[in-house]
Structure 1
Amino acid sequence: MTDPTALLDLPLPEQRQIAIGHDAARSAVLSQLADGRLPGAIMLHGPQGIGKATLAFELAASILTATGDEPPHRVHEQVAALSHPNLSVLRRRLKDSKGYYTVIRVEDVRDLREALHHTRGRAGHRIAILDSIDDCNPNAANALLKTLEEPPADTTFFLISHRPGQLLPTIRSRCHNLALRPLVDDLVTSVVASSMPDLAPSALDRAIALAGGRPRRAFETLALADNSPVGALQLWLRQPEAAPVAAELQLADALGSDPQGADMSFAREILNDWLATEMRDAALQPGARRRLASATELWEKAGALLGEADSVNLDMKQTLVVIFDAIRKHCALIANPVEPA
């Protein structure tokens, strides 16, 4: 099974199997393994691109080695190839030659559940990795919940989530939750340099500066052209209400021309980060009721518009125009922070 979020020429999480950082989460699971009390489900959650899936595969290899009867190198080889009989991985599936389904479907979860109820292929624990559970549509999430409520014996699910707050509370309550944080710059540098040892120092410094503690974002930065509109988006987001409307149109045209391209992928992450930060800042500002209400509405509107654009192939340029206009109006509103009596 391929990874629909894979970056060109970089190893997949199952191939890497060595997560940089996240020592507390790693130690917690390995301690549970040593004590013979692995939970039925572990949720690794945090910002996208910090190594959650890599850590899940690293821990999977450790568990399969500790509970099985094969040497570590053999287990690592099988995990890298996704060929270990006791390992199941669920991602968005390939739809056709042009791309992947936009969601994990209920039939995908049912196939996983059926596979886990078969006789195990080898001695030891079984592992199921969902990368990511955020991709499950409502029916798939409900089907997964039933599986978590009645899990197969000696099986641990690793659920990868970038947005745990949007998941069913009943799913979160069935999991041992481990929060992972962005890495410090030195660790991001280590990840990038290990994969791209010949990278020019100036390019590395620029990637680390834009990464925000996320190795994936650093790699995405390196994939962008020097004249990428992503930089213009970052500048625009510093003060959207002061920029001319024409700037929004130019940004939307440049980014939306290739909805599946690297520029648009990176831009969506930047937008999500900006919106999440605005929501958090509004919630922490005492008495900022208008700002919080506006930020909440903006978050929901942007998410719905981008989701609709993905699912029914709407014009991404027009979608971005609407989102940018909403951001500009929100920023104009909070620039005059007079609360009603």
Structure 2
Amino acid sequence: MTDPAALDGLPLPEQRHAAIGHDAARAAILQQLAEHRLPGAFLVHGPQGIGKATFAFEMAAAILLATGDETPERVLEQVVALSHPNLFVLRRRAKDAKSYYTAIRVEDVRELRDALHHTRGRAGHRIAILDSIDDCNPSAANALLKTLEEPPADTTFFLISHRPGQLLPTIKSRCHIIALRPLAESEVARVVSTDLPELTGESLDRALALAGGRPRRAFETLALGEDTALGALISWLRDPLAVPPGAMLPLAETIGADPQGPDMSFAREILLDWLADEARNAAIDQTSRLRLASATELWDKANALLGEADSVNLDMKQTLVVLFDAIRKHRQATALPIEPE
């Protein structure tokens, strides 16, 4: 079973052995395991790309080892291969050789439920990982709720969510909530350096600066060359005053050409992350009230523009032009004066 969200050339979550960071959450679950009081389900949530699935597989291996009768090497080997009889993983299924279903379907959840009610193939606890529960369509979510209401004995679910606010309240009420946060920059650097040990210098710094505590974002950023539209956007955000305003028009036209496409989706994340960082840094900077007021106004304006474009189907290219202009004006208004020599 493959992961439809996998990045080319990088290990899958089950292949990473252990997550970097998230020490408090790890300690809490291991304490519950040691005290034999594991809940029926954990809801592991947080921003996408911070290692939630890797963390879930690490905890699954720890539980399988503590409750089973096999060596650590054997358990880890089976988790990596997704071949442990007591480990069940549910992701969006392959539709054909080239594509995946757009959602986890009710039949997928029922198949998981039936498998969990069969006689177990090995001693110990059983683990079911849904990566992610956000992918469940409404029928699948309702079927999952019924399973959580009457869970099989000695079974723990790890439900991974990037958007817990959109989940059924009744599902959340059945789970022990584990909130994972973005990693420190040093931790993101460890993840990136583990997979790409040859990466150093400006390329690494650029990836870390755009990662926002999410290793996945760092890897996605590295895949963007300077000659791509998204690469040009990232370069421009480093210094919005470095190019004349008219130079951003072709960029807006390229990125906004497909409002629902992957480039536009990634561009929105990049822009909103930059705006959030700008507001955060302005709040820390006690020397400039103007910068904080401008950054806050810019954040509100950006969200209003993008929300309006979504709700009434406005031209996303024009929306980006307005947003780029607003970012440039913000930088002009808050730029530090040049000190005389």
Q: TM-score of the superposition, structure 1-length normalised?
A: 0.78
Question: Residue 192 of structure 2 corresponds to which residue in structure 1?
Answer: 192
Residue 288 of structure 2 is matched in structure 1 by none
2-side partners of 1:237 and 1:201: how far apart? 16
Q: Show CA shifts across 1:123-181 (max 9, x none).
A: 10000001111111111111111111111111100011111111111111111101111
Q: Map 1:40-55; keep pairs closer than 5 Å.
A: 40-55=40-55
Q: What are structure 2's unaligned runs of at least 5 residues?
A: 281-291, 328-341
Give percent identity, aligned residues only. Answer: 65
**Partner residue of 1:70?**
70
Aligned residues: 316
Secondary structure in 1 matching 2:202: helix
**Equivalent-residue separation in structure 2 for 1:304 and 1:159 (angstroms):** 30
- SS of residue matched to 1:94: coil
- Name the structure 2 match of 1:10: 10
Instruction: Tell me how far 1:250 sits from its aligned partner.
Output: 3.7
4+ aligned runs moved over 3 Å, structure 1: 231-239, 243-250, 254-261, 263-266, 271-278, 290-305, 318-331
What is the aligned partner in structure 2 of residue 251 from structure 1?
252
Contact 1:249 1:321 in 2 (8 A): no
Q: Answer with 1 or 2: which has the greater Rg.
A: 2
Counterpart of 2:84 in structure 1 is 84
Which letter maps to 1:133? Answer: I
Partner residue, 2:285: none
Amino acid at match of 1:251: A
Residues 69/104 of structure 1: CA separation in 2 closer, same or farther (3 Å cut): same
Matches within 5 A, 1:140-219: 140-219=140-219
The letter for the 1-side match of 2:254 is: D
8 Å Cα contact 1:127/1:155 also seen in 2: yes
Return the TM-score normalized by structure 2.
0.78
Unaligned 5+ runs, structure 1: 309-317, 332-341
Equivalences for 1:1-341 in 2 at 5 Å?
1-234=1-234, 235=236, 247=248, 250-254=251-255, 263=263, 266-267=266-267, 269-270=269-270, 273=273, 320-321=316-317, 324=320
**Superposed CA RMSD:** 3.8
Q: In structure 2, do the counterparts of structure 1 residues 79 and 237 end up closer, same or farther at CA, with 3 Å as the change threshold?
A: same
CA–CA separation in structure 1 for the residues paired with 2:149 and 2:304: 34
Shift of 1:252: 4.3
CA contact (8 A) 1:229 1:255 kept: no
Q: Offset at 1:328?
A: 7.9
Q: CA-to-partner distance for each residue in 1:169-227, whole Å, 9 max, x for gaps?
A: 11111111011111111111111111111113221111111111111111111111122
Counterpart contact for 1:232–1:251, Cα < 8 Å: no
For residues 71-100 of structure 1, the C-alpha deviation after alignment (integer angstroms, 9 at most, x for no partner) is 111010000000101001111111122221
Q: CA deviation at 1:101?
A: 1.5
